[in-house]
Structure 1
Amino acid sequence: MDTNCKIDISKIKLAGRTEFYVNASADSAMSLNDGTKRTIEEFNLSPINHFILGIGTSSSSTSKESSKQAQPLTWLTGNRNDSKGIIFSQLTAVQDISLKPISFKGQIVGNCYEDDYARYIRLVGLLPDDLSENRENQTLSLLNNMRDCLVEQGMTFQHVIRTWFYLDDLLEWYGDFNVWRTHFFHREKVFDGLVPASTGIGTANHCGAEIIGDLIAVLPKSDELIIERAKSPLQGSAMDYKSSFSRGVEIKLPGCNTLYISGTASIDKAGETLFLDDAEKQIKMTMEVVTEMLNVANMNWRDVKRGIAYFKHGDYVPYFIKYCEGHKINHSPIAIFIADVCRDDLLFEIEVDSVQLGC
């Protein structure tokens, strides 16, 4: 394997399939592409989704090659990426189970698979129809496309448990986005049930859209599968300050719990930003919030299989590494990306996926 590409692999054996979380980092698009491709071939993996983080649209043809190894993908280029030359790739993949590619409006936009407990859909890098439209119309088009694609697969937006929204120049219009998302959620009766966990980050994308999005939807087939909102002891509900997402969502199966923690930042129970202009303290506070969420779900950082740490500036990354090393947290499964968080005074945000077996 390319020595310039570092690979972290977590393997989870479940009933009927094996899941893999593949986190790669490299100093070039070619190394990233080669390392990830070889991992897919070595383990005979079927990728469910693929993040590429930190390769700009002006990169050489090797960045285009990166997009070919695992379709579909979410390719984030960053607004002013200064990640010190390191770029990241993240795959969730499976063995021993068939994936059904999802086609929507002539494009492959995700995958569907199932087990004895549920049918699962992952939509990846979904786009608005017309990239020349204004931000409101692109947002509504994206949300409608998400819904319509789900309906074609026999689900509704009420089955969505996790979303990702990446907004170009987010700080200019995140408030408007929240209004439009909330209106859509009311119309689709999302508030009648579970409100999805979510990430909202400011970054450009390789298509030049104002917004792109991912989601996970779950249609239960058994009462043994339990989906519930995760607890966040150190923070209040984001909906209290008109941001329509849950702090996290937990899926419980016999012998396995999965916890999806939303993009989390240094915000107190009242929804106010803590530690203004102090990146080190914001990182510490945020990590403590996530630690408490893991602990209340009877998990810890050793159960984290993937994550993305978002930094307003690359100079803040050493604070994160220092915190992880001081608390014996393995940060190998966590990609680093320079992007805008949802408020100008927030300097750091992190999302994680955690899996615990034998529960």
Structure 2
Amino acid sequence: MLRKVSRDGCGYSVVELYDVRHVLAVAVPRGGGSLEVQAHDALRTIEAVHAEEGTRGSIVHQAVFIPTPELVPQCREIIRDFYGDEQPATSYVVQPPCDGKLLAVEAMGVGRGMGEVRIERFGDQAVRVTHNALSWLHCANVTPRDDVTGVYNQTISAMSRMRGVLAKRGIGFDRVIRMWNYLGSIVEDEGGVQRYKELNRARTAFFEGVHFLRGCQAGLPSSAEVYPAATGIGMQGTGLMLGCIALAMDDRPDVVAMPLENPNQTAAFHYGARYSPKSPKFARAMALSCGAFATIFVSGTASILGAETVHPGDAEAQTRQTLDNIEALISERNLRQHGLPGLGARLEDLGMIRVYVKRQDDYETARAVCRARLGDLPMVFAIADVCRPDLLVEIEGMAFSRRK
């Protein structure tokens, strides 16, 4: 079901899921040179992977990590020229790649297998993929209106724009299963309030009255709080950018979208006011099951037990704890407790991860821990502020499981 390959400059996973081949790839330039030279090296590497796997032209969602905001326009032009009419939904994330390159690329492809796959592209902000009576909308690079200031208002503006992008393609905002919130200067203050706390305040206000994935959680009481899996992470500058994956499954009553909480962590939406006056509204993960298969979208995860940071100042211990938290989150024991027996996963069932490191000096330490625990898994390492000053590492990813 899951095959992983690592070679010079690229790591990728191939997942045969729902009779469809999924290819998850990470590429970094193998040499130096200009942004254009490095970008073409990484993009051609990913292109070669898809040609080899028989999924050419199938990239639907892409994140490009770059060190400064000034490089975004040039990077976008390079990528648009490279893909032409086959633009993926692409986010330009201003987080310096840890290895010192001018960019790193993470790409998700959905290619033809035994089942029929239809890909509809709407520029580099939205791509719809339809297969097996499931319609996925990948949405990227959503920013607030230029005339809006302040994190709270910018978040409301960007989420409103995202809702509009989804609505234009016939999908409600309540169908969002995975979100990314990239916020510049995330731990800095704005008007005496931390910027991340303002994002949480806006997220709480915007989500009010939204019943996420209603009817898709077998066994959950109607009063249960349901939110998408999400990452809230820093980036360079002071901007805000959102991305998401939404899923329409009206003709598939057998599909279950189950939010997962970690048995060793307090639910983020139950955090006390000392962490944020309005708690972060996200699930620790979202498990999407269909028959014998499950895809688990793992939210940004850090070295937290209960609601407290553990191992402050120790990047190695924080990385180990973060992986322990992910291991518990996706475990068979936890999936069974959430009503999905037989669909638990292990760390070896991860298909790809991103590792956000606060300090460049901790990169090699975090990388060594991840390689020791995860082997040749495709990984992106980028420099980014985590939402608490005492957190040094955050990890997100995707895991896949099959009922035995």
The bucket for the TM-score relative to the shorter chain is 0.7 to 0.9
Distance in 2 separating the partners of 1:37 and 1:274 = 41
For normalisation by structure 1, the TM-score amounts to 0.88
Are the counterparts in 1 of residues 65 and 97 from structure 2 also a CA contact under 8 Å? no
State the 1:284 CA deviation. Answer: 1.5
Give secondary structure in 2 for the equivalent of 1:147: helix
Cα distance in 2 for residues equivalent to 1:23 and 1:108:
19
Of residues 24, 28, 38, the one that matches 2:27 is 24
Q: Report the CA distance between 1:129 and its aligned residue.
A: 2.6
Secondary structure at the aligned position of 2:61 is classed as strand
Query: Which residue matches 2:205?
Result: 183
Which runs of 4 or more aligned residues in structure 1 lie more than 6 Å from their structure 2 counterparts after TM superposition?
A: none
Structure 2 counterpart of 1:290: 326
Task: Tell me, in whole angstroms, the C-alpha distance in 1 between the residues paired with 2:124 and 2:315.
Answer: 40
> Are 2:178 and 1:156 equivalent residues in the alignment?
no
Q: In 1, Cα distance between the equivalents of 2:327 and 2:12?
A: 22
Q: 2:153 aligns with which of 137, 140, 151?
A: 137
Percent of matched pairs sharing the same residue: 23
Structure 2 residue runs of 5 or longer lacking an equivalent are: 1-5, 32-37, 189-194, 213-222, 272-278, 336-343
Asked if 1:355 is matched to 2:358, the reply is: no
| Structure 1 Cα separation of the partners of residues 69 and 7 of structure 2 | 22
From 243, 249, 256, the counterpart of 2:280: 243
2:11 aligned partner: 8
CA contact (8 A) 2:90 2:124 kept: no
Q: CA deviation at 1:17?
A: 2.6
Check the 8 A contact 1:16/1:115 in 2, yes or no.
no
Distance 1:82 1:159 in 2: 32
Task: Choose the corresponding residue for 1:272, options 308, 331, 335.
Answer: 308
Which segment is superposed worse, 123-132 or 235-244? 123-132
Q: Deviations over 1:296-344 (max 9, x none)?
A: 34211221111100000121122223323443x2253121011000111
Q: Secondary structure at the match of 1:161?
A: strand
Counterparts of residues 1-359 of structure 1 (less than 5 Å): 6-26=9-29, 27=31, 28-42=38-52, 43=54, 44-58=56-70, 64-66=77-79, 68-69=82-83, 70-78=87-95, 81=96, 83-86=98-101, 87-96=103-112, 97-102=117-122, 108-130=124-146, 133-172=149-188, 173-190=195-212, 194-204=226-236, 210-220=239-249, 221-241=251-271, 242-269=279-306, 271-296=307-332, 297=335, 298-327=344-373, 329-357=374-402, 359=404
CA distance in 2, matches of 1:45, 1:209: 34
Given that 2:15 and 2:21 are in contact with CA atoms closer than 8 Å, whether structure 1 keeps it comes out as yes
Residues 235 and 331 of structure 1: is their aligned pair in 2 closer, same or farther, counting only changes over 3 Å?
Answer: farther
**How far is 1:140 from its partner?**
1.2
Q: Give the secondary-structure state (helix, strand or coil) at the position aligned to 1:170.
A: coil
SS of residue paired to 1:201: strand
Letter in 1 for 2:233: I
**Alpha-carbon spacing, 1:346–1:93, altered in 2? closer, same or farther (3 Å):** same
* Deviation (angstroms), 1:35: 1.7
What is the alpha-carbon distance in structure 1 between the residues aligned to residue 361 and residue 120 of structure 2? 42
Paired residues of 2:175 and 2:246 also in contact (CA < 8 A): yes
2 CA distance for matches of 1:141 and 1:187?
Answer: 17
- Secondary structure of the corresponding residue to residue 253 of structure 2: coil
The answer to whether the 8 A contact 1:5-1:31 is kept is no
After superposition, the Cα gap between the structure-2 partners of 1:316 and 1:268, relative to the gap in structure 1 and judged at 3 Å, is same
TM-score, normalised relative to structure 2: 0.78
| 228 and 46 in structure 1: CA distance in 2 versus 1, 3 angstrom threshold | same
Q: Residue 335 and residue 45 in structure 1: after superposition, are their counterparts in 2 closer, same or farther (change >3 A)?
A: same
Aligned equivalents of 2:165, 2:125: Cα separation in 1: 9
Secondary structure of the corresponding residue to residue 321 of structure 1: helix
Partners of 2:77 and 2:168 in 1: how far apart? Answer: 30
Paired amino acid for 2:63? F
Which amino acid is the alignment partner of residue 345 of structure 1?
A: D
Instruction: Tell me, yes or no, if the aligned pair for 1:5 and 1:32 is still in contact at 8 Å.
Output: no
Structure 1: tracts of 5 or more residues without a match:
none
Cα contact 1:52–1:88 (8 A) shared by 2: yes
Work out the CA distance in 2 between the residues paired with 1:284 and 1:227: 28
Deviation, 1:13, is 2.1
Change (3 A) 1:132 1:29: farther
CA distance in 1, matches of 2:235, 2:359: 13
